[in-house]
Structure 1
């Protein structure tokens, strides 16, 4: 039945065209944003997961920055300790040379004094971001407190989050103690290495003095004590450098892990919400054809009413 009031064909064509236009809007939104789930209305469950994981990834970025800061600080201290090892080794060699009869200990002591000054310079200048783990006052609780380096961010199955840290005991790296002389270089070691003569003095690496003020029958024995004293300090410095080296490697491994974890989260989120651009572009082409056909069908359906007019001519 042909009716002027109700055009069923036009209504059907309009519904089809409207549905096609809606599909085109969805497809165009996916192409413009690159996501098939860009709002909660698209897929509430996936959008919620993706939003939470993106937030966690931002926290991991902060952890990565903190690790970078910690790594830089440790690297400065580690480099300084390595330099200290070389200088203390030189002092050990000078003391050993001074044990030889007939050498000019005054000139050797001048060289040792310059090396000691260099040790002070290295310890005091090993500062990064206001932190110095090699020279500070051990009687100051704040200065001697352990340092915490943020190393990871985790979220449990219940949704609770936590930060994990790596502890650095800086009292183990202290070279020069401005408060109590308990550093590796200024520690009083006379209890273990007692000097019997007057020609050599020193209770720590920083006070070693091989200059012969007078003839002394105990010079050789005292030199042996000084060599032992310097060697003991060198062993302690080596241990401190080893500990820092282990922490340096630990932070480096954690940096690599956090970077890989961030990339994994990005890939996981992408699998949930990213649009397949190849599929979407193909779908858009098909919908454009459907839209054109829908417009054509609507035009034909609307022309049916005009055909009725010819019956009355």
Structure 2
């Protein structure tokens, strides 16, 4: 039956053409935006997931910037610490030279002061964007944003790399130790403080060692012999002194001559007898290493009896040395003032003065601790910089992975879209043709009325 009121064929063709046009519009949208899910109505679930991931990518971009800033700051501190270490090592060379006989110690001291000023300059300049990790202006650690951790429930927490500051300032409250001026109560008390091979310690402070009178020495170390120094009592302010005479000391011209050195230490409130033995023994050993020829065989041994207690150290005068006997004079007093360097790691460099025998000896013992402080600082910053670099590389790769994941969710497959566009354009042409044919069908009814 034909009807001029209802054209079923045209209705079907029109619906088909509308469907084709709708799909064609979606395809054209994918082509123009490059996305298969451009907004929430395209696919609400996928769109929501992609937006969360995009926000994470933005967050990791900020993390990457934070890591870059932190890495630069730490790199400046590391380079400065390494430079300070080199300068302190150069200073040690000057101090070692000052241990020799017949050298111009005043000129050496001028070099040491110049190196100290250079260290101060390096530490002061070691800042990045106004932040200095070496100058001791603050003890607060540097917190560097390193990650954003998203848990399964959707909550986000920040993670940080903590970089501790290191104090390499050469300024601050510092004082040299001052030996006591009060004699021990009696001979027995003095011998408890320090004793050399069982011989009496000098406690009558008015009776000093006389080089012209070897009999004033308290002990003798024969060629090939040894002498043990024992400490059994300690208290804050106790002053211990060991003078060693007839040592074969290097000279500036490469030869050697007989000389004398005194090693001193004033105990702090926290020292034990082991600490005192270690302090004085290290001073003696450092001097032997720096200012005497290896052929002399001078050496220091800690805990020689292997008792498990380090309140004893031994000096050895090996057989075959260039000199025979070594003379030793031990002295003790009360009421001394320990040296203090406050909280600044390198403040003790201010007290280095090699213009005297005792100053040169004390400097030799102090410089190794200062060098170790700067080495520890450089190592700490180096470790932190490596950690930051590793995290920065990881954040970069993680951001790339997230971007790739977002793309796989929402990006259009252009090869597929291109093929679908061609097919839909063909379908559209055929749909138009089909609708045109369907619209012409009612006109055939006119022939029935002719």
**Bin of the TM-score, shorter chain as denominator length:** 0.7 to 0.9
Question: Among 378, 384, 394, which residue is 1:247 paired with?
Answer: 384
Distance 2:383 2:427 in 1: 66
2:57 is the counterpart of 1:57: yes
2:353–2:359 Cα contact (<8 Å) kept = no
Secondary structure of the residue aligned to 1:144 is coil
The normalised TM-score by structure 1 is 0.86
Distance 1:239 1:309 in 2: 105
Distance 1:50 1:283 in 2: 25
Root-mean-square deviation over aligned CA pairs: 2.5
Q: Structure 2, unaligned stretches of length 5 or more?
A: 176-264, 268-278, 285-330, 332-338, 342-347
Higher helix share: 1
Question: Among 278, 282, 304, which residue is 2:419 paired with?
Answer: 282
- Number of the residue aligned with 1:169: 164
The normalised TM-score by structure 2 is 0.60
- Number of the residue aligned with 2:150: 155
Seen in structure 2, the aligned counterparts of structure 1 residues 180 and 98 have a Cα distance that, compared at 3 Å, is closer
Q: Please show how residues 38-187 of structure 1 align to structure 2 within 5 Å.
A: 38-137=38-137, 143-170=138-165, 173-176=166-169, 180=173
Larger radius of gyration: 2
Seen in structure 2, the aligned counterparts of structure 1 residues 190 and 89 have a Cα distance that, compared at 3 Å, is farther
**Pairwise CA distance, 1:106:** 2.2
1:202–1:226 Cα contact (<8 Å) kept = no
Seen in structure 2, the aligned counterparts of structure 1 residues 61 and 181 have a Cα distance that, compared at 3 Å, is farther
Seen in structure 2, the aligned counterparts of structure 1 residues 281 and 287 have a Cα distance that, compared at 3 Å, is same
Question: Among 273, 294, 305, which residue is 2:431 paired with?
Answer: 294
Higher strand share: 2
Hey, which bits of structure 1, 4+ residues long, moved more than 3 A? 177-182, 189-196
Question: Among 344, 354, 359, which residue is 1:210 paired with?
Answer: 354
Seen in structure 2, the aligned counterparts of structure 1 residues 177 and 272 have a Cα distance that, compared at 3 Å, is same
Secondary structure of the residue aligned to 2:143 is strand
Q: Please show how residues 253-264 of structure 1 align to structure 2 within 5 Å.
A: 253-264=390-401
Number of paired residues? 289
**Pairwise CA distance, 1:308:** 2.2
Seen in structure 2, the aligned counterparts of structure 1 residues 235 and 178 have a Cα distance that, compared at 3 Å, is closer
Distance 2:371 2:444 in 1: 107
Distance 2:80 2:266 in 1: 26
Q: Structure 1, unaligned stretches of length 5 or more?
A: 138-142, 183-188, 213-218
Distance 2:360 2:111 in 1: 16
Distance 1:39 1:181 in 2: 69
